[in-house]
Amino acid sequence: MPTTQTKLSAFYAATGHLFMHMFAAIYFVIVLGIESAWQFSYAELIELWFIGSLLIGLGSIPSGWLSDRWSRSGMIAIMFLGLGVASIFCGLSDTKFLLMINLSILGLFCSIYHPAGISWVVNMSDNTGRALGFNNIFGGVGIGLGALSSGYLVNSYSWQAAFILPGILSVLLGIALTWHIYTNKISLHNKQSTKFSENPQRGDYIKIIIIMLISITCVGFTFQILQTSLPKVIDIRLTDLLSLDPAKIGLVVSSIYVISGLMNYVGGIAADRYSVKFIYAYGMLVQGILLVIFAGMDHTFLIVLALVIVAFNSSILPAENILLARFAPAEYQSMVYGIKFILSFSLGPLVVFLVSRSYALTGEFYYLYLTSGVFMSLLFFMILSLPAQKSTAINA
């Protein structure tokens, strides 16, 4: 049976995942309220997140290094406190420049979670896929909750409240985790699992590195494109048809990410039982085909299709993280996850730029979805060429 320490660690790891993704996503709905309040264009305001989205990726390497050398649980406590304070200051911003600075700080603290949190989860459970799947659910829930809460708070109170209230809650969680570490209810020291001690042959490393770098980049690009543009594409294509406002758009986006987030657990169970390589490859292929269809869709089925695409994007993440744990040297595991997320989230500034330029030039995002779909489809063949797992502990 799980110990009290394991249960508490799982709680804070899951809640940290929720809060990280919530804070990384709330601006995409809050910006719709600022657009009205400040009378600036969407293109101008979405670009304020450029540095913040860049720092989510760039901060992953030092976060991973500190997690390996010091403490994964300690880094998560710092993340909760930093996210809360930064979000409160975002809500107190009264100029574009101040908002940009505070969003940048928010992005920097967001960078802590994945290198520290994913390594924490990987090393605390025997059923790694199930544990990762359960934890990953909360990433989707965080995006959904961020969209829902920010849409509600913007409509009912103000855009400032949509930053400040979640920020206060994050600070309280950071204080609670710090207390549990201080009282030894949660260990400050890192635990290292021996489950992933088998590394591939040296001759396979170059091929593995190239394939995983490309695949992680494409998965991250698809995730970022959808997270950034989905509220606006629903606004563009469905507002007149369904009489939507920011709160309703937030509810739609929230429902998509919460429901699809459950697929993480399904994907995690599958990753413990079946070939993680095939799960990863076929998940890519399905996303690619559906994105090509989604690119030109302009009726209510767009919401269903968005849900399915995001669900597949989520469900392959346990398989991806197990593949990385398999291939990474144990003493640099957090660093490897840091490299993964510097790739995934450093795409954020590029995506913000592409979304902004695409909207400014065409008023749409058709070519972004089409390009992403083509690349995801082609990756299917590359992933199938990854080396198989030799041991029977995890089928690959």
Q: Please give the pLDDT value at position 203.
A: 60
pLDDT of residue 109: 96
Span between the terminal Cα atoms of the chain, in Å: 28
Check whether 58 has a pLDDT greater than 50.
Answer: yes
- The per-residue pLDDT for range 297-316, each reduced to its tens digit, is 888 889 999 999 998 988 88
Average pLDDT over every residue of 380-388: 84
Domain parsing of the chain, residue ranges? 4-189+198-383
Q: What is the pLDDT of residue 321?
A: 82
Residue 395 pLDDT: 40
Q: Is the pLDDT of residue 146 over 90?
A: no
pLDDT value at position 392? 38
The confidence band for 394, taking pLDDT boundaries of 50, 70 and 90, is very low
Sign of CA dihedral 311, 122, 186, 177: negative
Q: For residues 388 and 390, give the distance between their C-alpha atoms in angstroms, rounded to a whole number.
A: 6
| Residue 259 predicted with pLDDT over 50 | yes
Q: What pLDDT, on a 0 to 100 scale, did the predictor assign at position 92?
A: 96
What values do phi and psi take at 71, rounded to 5? -160, 130
Burial bucket for residue 301 (CB in 10 Å: 0-12, 13-18, 19+): exposed
Greater confidence (3 vs 282) lies with 282
Mean predicted lDDT score pLDDT of the chain: 85
CATH class of residue range 4-189+198-383: mainly alpha
pLDDT greater than 60 at residue 1: no
Q: Which of 282, 279, 284 is nearest to 266 (CA)?
A: 279
| pLDDT the model gives residue 391 | 47
For the whole model, what pTM was predicted?
0.73
Cα–Cα distances (Å) from 141 to 20, 56, 220, 223, 298, in that order, read 11, 19, 18, 14, 26
